[in-house]
Amino acid sequence: MTLTIRRVTENDYDDVRRITRDAYLHAGYFDAADHPYVQVLADVEHRAEHAEVWVGEDDGVVIGSFAITFEGQRYTDIAIAGELEFRMLAVDPAVQRGGYGRRMVEWIIDYARTVDGVEAVSLTSGTDMVRAHRLYESLGFERVPSRDWWVPGEDIELWVFRLEL
């Protein structure tokens, strides 16, 4: 595995759209590509305009992506002052379980340590995203139940995880 992480370019948008959509659908988090949140995941152009979108590449092939946000930004769900939040982490189902998700989260943690004023990394995760929870906890993230929240208008609870740097 030769993972390179870099900022997204317009040439990557279709790959990021496909990978993100396929990863969430493959995992069973949503049952249809026309689910409203799957449509949000597919709108890479909007995400790149309002957040830092990054891609992971192996040998020049995009295999995953994620978005980074900070307090008060449009794509931020839960980041407070001093936190970097990452969202929409996705690895192409064709290469899942190859360590790419772990390497991307490790990169996010290392990146957060270089950002002035950032003292922690935070994220939200669906209660049923058990594999992701194990990954986050293995890297030192801890649940913060007092910050858990419900998606407005949906019966979906999201758990908050946080890693103090």
Quick one: pLDDT at residue 142?
A: 98
Return the structure tokens found at 9: 């370019």
Quick one: pLDDT at residue 137?
A: 97
Return the structure tokens found at 133: 């929870």
- Checking 116-119 for CB contacts under 8 A at 24+ apart, the result is 117/81, 117/82, 118/70, 118/82, 118/83, 118/84, 118/165, 119/82, 119/83, 119/164, 119/165
Cα separation, 25 vs 12, in Å, equals 20
Quick one: pLDDT at residue 24?
A: 82
Q: Which residues of the chain have pLDDT under 50?
A: none
Quick one: pLDDT at residue 79?
A: 97
Quick one: pLDDT at residue 156?
A: 84
Quick one: pLDDT at residue 34?
A: 73
Quick one: pLDDT at residue 82?
A: 98
Quick one: pLDDT at residue 153?
A: 81
Quick one: pLDDT at residue 152?
A: 86
Return the structure tokens found at 145: 């139940």
Q: Please give the model's pTM, rounded to 2 decimal places.
A: 0.94
Cα separation, 67 vs 135, in Å, equals 18
Contact 124, 158 (CB under 8 A): yes
Per-domain residue ranges of the chain: 3-164
Quick one: pLDDT at residue 67?
A: 97
Contact 53, 10 (CB under 8 A): no
Quick one: pLDDT at residue 122?
A: 98
CATH fold label, 3-164: Aminopeptidase (3.40.630)
